[in-house]
Amino acid sequence: MRRWMLWAPLAGFVLLAVLVAVGLLRPADRTVLSRMVGRPVPALVLAPAVAGKPGLSTADLKGEVRLVNLFASWCAPCIAEAPQLLALKQAGVRIDGIALRDARADVTRFLADHGDPFDHIGDDPRSTAQLALGSSGVPESFVVDAAGVIRHQHVGPIMPQDMDAILAAIEDAR
């Protein structure tokens, strides 16, 4: 019995080391999902982010299924998703943008360099719209149905492998 007691601390240490190693090798999913999915888009009235494009309001997000994309000119993943947004626009998806904490000249330059898939672009200098939507970062996209209800959230950049899921979410919202 005494011999077992001598090995107990070592066994406890090995068990603890295994638990820590498993936790490090399989980190938890830290994606923050919005509680707004399934609810109407909150009241938004955003000034235009660039010249020649209208701003964005809640009224603009009704009547037709739309994809609302939160982006910023300073966001590297936003550059990576730009070709997919242009492909979605070419496929007939209506896309509106919300520029977060950005300067008008920088947004204009970003759109000139990477393409402009947006019908409306609202300026969100203090991230109030972002927080109202329950978004935790950029880029992030929301599928909004014709009644103005958020039906799907995509966290992170829309990459080529995400296109089928985004198109399916848009189709489901119709």
Question: Which domains does the chain possess?
Answer: 45-173 (3.40.30.10)
Strands of the 121-124 sheet, one edge to the other: 121-124, 94-100, 66-71, 140-144, 150-155
Give this prediction's pTM. Answer: 0.81
Say which residue the tokens 């660039």 belong to.
Answer: 50
Q: Residues 84-121: pLDDT tens digits?
A: 999 999 999 999 999 999 999 999 999 999 999 999 99
The pLDDT, as a whole number, for residue 93 is: 96
Q: Which two three-digit tokens encode residue 130?
A: 């972002």
H or E stretch at 164: helix 163-173
Average pLDDT of span 55-75: 95
The pLDDT, as a whole number, for residue 10 is: 79
Please check the confidence at residue 173 and state whether its pLDDT lies above 80.
yes
H or E stretch at 66: strand 66-71
Spatial CB neighbours of 49, under 8 Å, sequence gap ≥ 6: 55, 97, 98, 99, 102, 104, 107, 121, 122, 123
**Average pLDDT of every residue of the chain:** 91
Average pLDDT of span 139-156: 95
Of 141, 160, 125, 157, which Cα lies nearest the Cα of 37? 141
